[in-house]
A and B are shown apart, each in its own frame.
Chain A
Amino acid sequence: MKSNRNIAPPRWADRFLAFYCREEFLEEIAGDAHELFEVRLQDEGRQIASLLFIWDVLRFFRWSNIKSTNRSKITQLMMVKNNFKIATRSLVKHKFYTGINLVGISLGIACFILTYLYVHEELSFDKFHSQKDRLYRVWIHEFDEGDEYFEGVVPMVLTQYMENDFPEIIRSAQMQDKLARYQTPDGTQLTSMIDMVGSDFLRMFDFPLIAGSLEGVLDSPADIVLTKSEAIRRLGTTDVIGKSIEYDIRGENAEFVVSGLVNDPPVNSSLEFVALISDVNKKRFVNEQSLTSWYTFSTELYVLLNERNDVSGLEEKFTGMVETGLGEDYEEGTYTVHLQPLTDMHFNQQIDGDTPVGDINTVRILGLIGFVILFLAGINFVNLSVGQSMTRAKEVGVRKVMGAFKKQLTIQFLTESLLLTLMAALIGLGVSYLLLPVFNQFADKNLQLAFDAPLIQALLLCILFTGVLAGLYPAFVLSSFNPSKVLKGLHKSTQGKHGLAFSLIVIQYVAAIFFVSSTVIMKNQIHYMSELDMGFNKEAKVYFTLPAAKAESMMMQARMKANADQAKVFISEMSQLISIEKISAANNFFGDRGWVKLGYEDKEEELNYFHYNHIDEHFIDLFDMEIVQGQGFDEATTRLRETGMIVNEAFVKAYGIENPIGHKLEGPDFPEHQIIGVVKDFNFSSLHEKIGPLIMSMNAHLVFEGINSIEVNQSLKSTLVAKVDMNAIDKFKGEIEAIWEERYAEPFELGFLDSRIERMYEAEKRNDAMVSLIALLAVVIASLGLLGLVALTVQKKFKEIGIRKVLGASSYTIIKMLNKAFLSPIAIALLLSLPLTYFVMQSWLDDFAYHININPVHFLLAGALIFMTTLLVASYQSVRAAATNPVDTLRYE
Chain B
Amino acid sequence: MKGTYLGEFEELVLLTVGALYDEAYGVAVMDEIKNETKRGVNISAIHSALRRLEEKGFVKSRMGGATNERGGRRKRYFVLTSYGKKALDDAQSLRMKLYNRIPNMSFGN
Min CB gap A304→B, angstroms: 54
A27-B73, A31-B74, A64-B51 known; A36-B27 Cβ under 8 A: yes
Size of chain B's interface in residues, with CB distance under 8 A? 18
Q: Contacting chain A: which of B11-19, B40-48, B94-102?
A: B40-48
Contact B73 A56 (CB under 8 A): no
Residues of the B chain whose Cβ atoms lie less than 8 Å from the Cβ of A151: none
User: Distance in Å from the Cβ of B70 to the closest Cβ of chain A?
Assistant: 4
A32 to B25, CA, bound (A): 9
Give the residues from 14 to 56 in chain B that come closer than 8 angstroms, CB to CB, to chain A.
25-27, 42-45, 47-48, 51
Which residues on A sit within 8 Å (CB–CB) of B47? Answer: 25, 28-29, 32, 60, 65
| Distance in angstroms between the alpha carbons of A113 and B69 in the assembled complex | 66
**Nearest-Cβ distance from residue A724 to partner chain B, whole angstroms:** 89
Q: Does B76 contact A (CB under 8 A)?
A: yes
Shortest A833–chain B CB gap in Å is: 67
**B48 pairs with A27, CB closer than 8 A:** no
Task: Report whether B71 and A34 are in contact in the complex, using a CB–CB cutoff of 8 Å.
Answer: yes
Contact B43 A33 (CB under 8 A): yes
List of A residues within 8 angstroms of B60 by Cβ = none
- Partner of B43 from the list A25, A27, A56 (CB cut-off 8 Å) is A56
CB-CB contacts of A34-47 with B at 8 A, as 1s and 0s? 11101000000000
Chain B 55-85 interface 0/1 with A at a Cβ cutoff of 8 Å (1 = within)? 0000000010000011101111000000000
When the two chains form the complex, which single residue of B42, B51, B69, B71 contacts A56, counting CB atoms closer than 8 Å?
A: B42
**Inter-subunit contact A28/B43 (CB<8 Å):** no
Measured between C-beta atoms, what is the minimum distance from B67 to chain A in Å? Answer: 10
Give min CB distance, A58 to chain B, whole Å: 9
The residues of B that contact A29 with a CB separation of less than 8 Å are 26, 47
Q: Which residues of chain A have C-beta atoms less than 8 A from B51's C-beta?
A: 64
Kindly state whether residue A30 has any CB partner on chain B within 8 Å.
yes
A62 at the interface (CB under 8 A from B): yes
Chain A 45-63 near chain B by CB (<8 Å), digits 1 or 0: 0000000000110011010
- When the two chains form their complex, are residues A60 and B74 in contact, meaning their CB atoms are under 8 A apart? no
- List B contacts of A25 (CB < 8 A): 47
Partner of B42, one of A27, A30, A35, A59: A59
Within 8 Å CB of A60, what residues of B?
Answer: 43-44, 47
B75 touches A28 (CB 8 A): yes
* A28-B76 contact, Cβ under 8 Å, with A35-B27, A38-B69: yes
Known contacts A36-B43, A59-B42, A64-B51; A28 and B27 CB within 8 A of each other:
no
B70 touches A38 (CB 8 A): yes
Which A-chain residue is minimally distant from B61 (CB atoms)? A28
Of the candidates B26, B42, B70, B74, the one having the most CB atoms from chain A within 10 angstroms of its own CB is B70
Chain B residues within 8 Å of A62, by CB: 44, 48
- B75 adjacent to A31 (CB under 8 Å): yes
How many residue pairs, one in A and one in B, have C-beta atoms under 8 Å apart? 59
List the A residue with the shortest CB-CB distance to B47: A29
Tell me if B73 and A64 are in contact (CB < 8 A). no
Contacts of A59 in B (CB 8 A): 42-45
Chain A's closest residue to B76 (CB) is: A28
Q: Which of A30, A36, A55, A65 contacts B73 (CB 8 A)?
A: A30
Q: What residues of B have a CB within 8 angstroms of the CB of A33 in the complex? A: 43
Known contacts A56-B44, A59-B42: does B69 contact A35 (CB below 8 Å)? yes
Q: Which residues of B contact A56 (CB under 8 A)?
A: 42-44
Residue of B nearest to A59 (CB): B44
A30 proximity list for chain B (CB < 8 A)? 70-71, 73
Tell me how far the C-beta of B11 lies from the nearest C-beta in chain A, rounded to whole angstroms: 20
Q: Which residues does chain A contribute within 8 Å of B44, judged by CB atoms? A: 56, 59-60, 62, 65
A813 shortest CB reach to chain B, Å: 71
With a cutoff of 8 Å between Cβ atoms, the chain A residues found around residue B73 in the complex are 27-28, 30-31, 34
A333 to B21, CA, bound (A): 100
State in angstroms the CA–CA spacing of A36 and B42 once bound together. 11
A469 to B45, CA, bound (A): 46
- Could you mark each residue 509-523 of chain A with 1 if its beta carbon is under 8 Å from any beta carbon of chain B, else 0? 000000000000000
Q: How far is the CB of A7 from chain B (nearest CB, A)?
A: 12
Cross-chain contact A32 with B27 (CB below 8 angstroms): yes
Closest to A14 in B: B71
**Please, how many angstroms separate the alpha-carbon atoms of A62 and B50 in the complex?**
14
Smallest Cβ distance from B88 to chain A, in angstroms? Answer: 24
Distance in angstroms between the alpha carbons of A35 and B48 in the assembled complex: 18
Tell me the residues in window 143-192 of chain A with beta carbons closer than 8 Å to chain B beta carbons.
none
In angstroms, Cα B45 to Cα A36, docked, is 14
Q: Which residue of B lies closest to A58 (CB)?
A: B44
Tell me the complex Cα distance, A831–B61, Å: 82
The residues of A that contact B25 with a CB separation of less than 8 Å are 28, 32
Q: Give CA–CA (A30, B51) in the complex, Å.
A: 16
With a CB–CB cut-off of 8 A, which chain A residues contact B48? 62, 64
Query: Within the assembled complex, what's the spacing in Å between the Cα atoms of A62 and B27?
Result: 18
CB distance from B2 to the nearest CB of A (A): 12
Tell me the bound Cα distance from A31 to B71 in angstroms: 7
Q: How far is the CA of A62 from the CA of B70 in the complex (A)?
A: 22
A658 → chain B, closest Cβ, in Å? 107
In angstroms, Cα B27 to Cα A56, docked, is: 12
- Give, as a whole number of angstroms, the nearest-CB distance from A789 to chain B: 54
B residues in contact with A27, CB < 8 Å: 63, 73-74, 76
Q: From residue A55, how far is it (CB to closest CB) to chain B in Å?
A: 8
Report the minimum CB–CB distance from B56 to chain A (whole Å): 14
Per the bound structure, the CA–CA distance linking A467 and B105 in Å amounts to 71
**Residue among B25, B42, B73, B74 facing the most chain A CB atoms (10 A cut-off):** B73
Shortest CB-to-CB span from B10 to chain A, Å, is: 15
CB-nearest residue of chain B relative to A29? B47
Cα of A399 to Cα of B75 in the assembled complex, Å: 47
Closest to B44 in A: A59
Known: A36-B27, A60-B47. A31 touches B42 (CB 8 A): no
Q: Among residues 324 to 364 in chain A, which have CB atoms less than 8 Å away from a CB atom of chain B? A: none
Q: Compute how far the CA of A60 lies from the CA of B27 in the bound complex, rounded to whole angstroms.
A: 14
Centre residue among A30, A36, A55, A56 by max chain B CB count within 10 A = A36
Seen from chain B, the residues whose Cβ lies within 8 Å of a Cβ on chain A are: 25-27, 42-45, 47-48, 51, 63, 69-71, 73-76
- 28 residue pairs of the A-B complex, CB under 8 angstroms, read A27-B63, A27-B73, A27-B74, A28-B63, A28-B74, A28-B75, A28-B76, A31-B26, A31-B71, A31-B75, A32-B25, A32-B26, A32-B70, A32-B75, A34-B73, A35-B27, A35-B69, A35-B70, A38-B70, A55-B42, A56-B43, A56-B44, A60-B44, A60-B47, A62-B48, A64-B51, A65-B44, A65-B47
Query: A30-B70, A59-B44 are known contacts; what are 13 more A-B pairs with Cβ within 8 Å?
Result: A27-B76, A28-B63, A28-B74, A31-B74, A32-B43, A32-B47, A34-B70, A36-B27, A36-B43, A55-B42, A56-B43, A59-B42, A64-B51
